[in-house]
Amino acid sequence: MVVTGASSGIGAAAAEEFARRGARVALVGRHPDRLSQTLERVRAAASSDAPPRGFLADFDVLADVRRLAEELAGAYPSIDVLCNNAGGIVPSRQSTVDGHERTIQSNHLAPFLLTNLLRERLTGGRVVNTSSDAHQGGVLDAAHLDSPGAYKPFTVYGSAKQANILFAAEAATRWPDIVSTAYHPGVVRTRFGRDSFVISLFYKVTPFLLTPAKGADTMLWLAGAPKEDVTNGGYYVKRQLRQPSGITADSAALWEASVAAVGL
């Protein structure tokens, strides 16, 4: 099991539960201290002889993603499940060193690149993309992935979440031997939106938010449910197949645009 965005929140909760169930887990995070702390908790929970391992990578840097793919491919001859969970939202337009808008790169382009680079290791396995019902507010345009024009954080984030759904749908067509899905975790109390005071405050003070463990439930189910119970390319909410709404882009066009954007 490879879980990105595993330093905290949903990713950390999922990694811990995978380890508790006996899986060999690789945790990917960008912050060394937080990753190290989470790795200790996951090791304590592990029930297999294979200890979990940590891998550092910054998804704002595509060269880091390529290095990560090489390290994972070198460490694991096969990967049963890749959980693309890393991502986030920023309050204002920011460009990465690769020249892309930061939200679309961290949420879609980086996991798209990682998954493609690990494609052979994933033969017969599964890909689970953490999306969101926020996709309904997106206006994804495959021809303009970097969202030119006035910057609206939640719209751009919604577009990135549409990309997660469309990536899974198109992967199911192109890679039928891999079960690819996307899911909505619910509104979870995590470090989401940490770069925005307003967004982070909302997640700190709003009552009735889900715990990371509850937010990870559908991810865990998609990773381990019998394959006949999972629709390849599907979008799931609370373990139920749902029809995404408000999708504004074509999955094949998005795939080709993403290939060009990451240099595959």
When divided into structural domains, the chain yields a total of 1
Q: Amino acid identity of 150?
A: A
Higher pLDDT, 50 or 162: 162
In order of 32, 65, 212, the CA distances from 262 in angstroms are 25, 10, 31
pLDDT for 200 equals 54
The CA dihedral of 165, 171, 174, 179, to the nearest 10 degrees, is: -120
User: pTM of the prediction?
Assistant: 0.92
CATH of the domain at 168: 3.40.50.720
**Pick the catalytic residue: 151, 157, 203, 235?**
157
Round to whole Å and give the CA distance between 196 and 193.
6
The tens digit of pLDDT for each residue in 28-83 reads: 999 999 999 999 999 999 998 889 999 999 999 999 999 999 999 999 999 999 99
pLDDT at position 194 over 80: no
Per-residue model confidence (pLDDT) at position 129? 99
151 is catalytic: no
Q: What residues make up the domain containing 130?
A: 2-262
> Residues 115-136: what's their mean pLDDT?
98
Q: Is 115 exposed, middle or buried (0-12, 13-18, 19+ CB in 10 A)?
A: buried
Range of lowest pLDDT (62-66, 187-191, 222-226, 230-234):
187-191
User: What mean pLDDT, rounded, does the chain reach?
Assistant: 94
Whether the predicted pLDDT of 193 surpasses 50? no
